[in-house]
A and B are shown apart, each in its own frame.
Chain A
Amino acid sequence: MIILLDFARRKGSANSRSKANDRLQTVLAHDRIGTSSGIMEQVKKEVIQVIRKHVDTEEPEVSLISRGRQPVLDINIPLKGR
């Protein structure tokens, strides 16, 4: 009975801690460079424009991450093959 109760409790809430971690990761990275999270969509649009002048690309992934306390812009642009 104890085990069941514990299991039920854990199942419903196991992700509130990981959700907190995900949200913090994003919000801290933006706080550190002083931007709002909406800015990433804009960066994405403009990056794609610049690159597509030269090569054809898939949809890029643009995200702000942290290495230690250092915010890093992580851009991943898969190129289209022939």
Chain B
Amino acid sequence: MMEPSNGGQVVVITSGKGGVGKTTTVTNVSMGLAQLGFKVVAMDLDIGLKKLDLIMGLENRVIYDIVQVIEGECTLRQALVKDRRFPNLFMLPAAQTRNKDDVTEEQIKNLCAELKKEFDFILIDCPAGIERGFRNSIAAADWAVVVTNPEVSAVRDADRIIGMLESAQFQDIKLVINRIRPEMVRGGDMLSIDDLLNHLCIDLIGIVPEDDGVVISTNTGEPIILNQRSLAGRAFYNIARRFAGEEVPFLDLNHTGSLWDRIRMFFSKQVG
């Protein structure tokens, strides 16, 4: 990860499998970086299936989209949607009525080169899959974040994506493990952080617990990071700080289970 002062950095958030938390990660980490004072653009490249506007709570502010920028129907500045909460946070919406073949890698590269002049971070929300949309999303990225869940099919897809990023000469690939449930790991029914790191062999940049607050925040359009009392919110804020180059210890999820878990832990300590 470079220092932001060297010009902006483009980071692609990808996963292979859908529904693992890419859009949630882009939303919250973008907002975290904005909180830290950086100028940030969250770019939705899930063309034809846009969601970032909704998850960021900015759907009512969208006027133009990325395909219109590329086709010259509007300027980049006109299409950037300003966040309601942070003046230094912007979102570039995907087109909903087009498809992924309407943009090329070259066009994304040009767009990102333009944005890098003015912004510290450009986070790309990559579509699921390994086809055109994926290739467009990684084309301009300086480094990559792979999001996965502690679940066999998500890990398999993450591995495939890591292989593809390596073939595309990515040197810097970081892992976010989302939706971990510490009590299930302790019970022997969920892959642990170490299990995932052993399989995937890349560096960790974040661990986000399963948190009902995430579902609530998607309903309201107020990203979970705005609630620093929530564990997932704190986890995303820590990821943002690591993006910025800070060394932040990982949250100890073992002491944050339900009361019931803690009682159980207490008793199991008594016996063993």
Residues of A within 8 A of B (CB): 2-3, 6, 9-10, 13-18, 20-21, 23-25, 27-28, 31-32, 68-69
15 residue pairs from A and B, CB less than 8 Å apart: A2-B267, A3-B267, A3-B271, A6-B264, A6-B268, A10-B187, A13-B188, A14-B188, A17-B190, A20-B152, A20-B191, A28-B199, A32-B163, A69-B162, A69-B163
Question: Which chain B residues (188-224) contact chain A, with CB distance < 8 Å?
Answer: 188-192, 195, 198-201
Contact of B192 among A2, A10, A17, A32 (CB under 8 A): A17
Q: Which residue of B lies closest to A27 (CB)?
A: B156
If the complex has contacts A10-B188, A17-B195, A21-B195, are A3 and B268 also in contact, measured as CB distance less than 8 A?
Answer: yes
Q: How far is the CB of B149 from chain A (nearest CB, A)?
A: 12
If the complex has contacts A15-B188, A16-B189, A25-B199, are A31 and B160 also in contact, measured as CB distance less than 8 A?
Answer: yes
- Contact residues in A for B163 (Cβ distance below 8 Å): 31-32, 69
Contact of A17 among B160, B162, B185, B263 (CB under 8 A): B185
The main secondary structure of chain A at its interface with chain B is helix
Please tell me the number of chain B residues within 8 Å of chain A, measured between CB atoms: 25
Q: Does B159 contact A (CB under 8 A)?
A: yes
- Contact residues in A for B160 (Cβ distance below 8 Å): 31
Q: Does B33 contact A (CB under 8 A)?
A: no
Q: How far is the CB of A26 from chain B (nearest CB, A)?
A: 11
- Besides A9-B187, A24-B191, A69-B200, 9 more A-B contacts (Cβ < 8 Å) are A6-B268, A10-B187, A15-B188, A17-B192, A20-B152, A28-B155, A28-B156, A68-B201, A69-B166
- Contact residues in B for A2 (Cβ distance below 8 Å): 263-264, 267
Q: CA separation between A69 and B75, bound complex, in Å?
A: 44
Pair B187/A32 contact, Cβ less than 8 Å? no
Q: CA separation between A14 and B188, bound complex, in Å?
A: 5
Q: CA separation between A25 and B47, bound complex, in Å?
A: 34
Q: Which residue of B lies closest to A11 (CB)?
A: B188
- Contact residues in A for B187 (Cβ distance below 8 Å): 9-10, 13
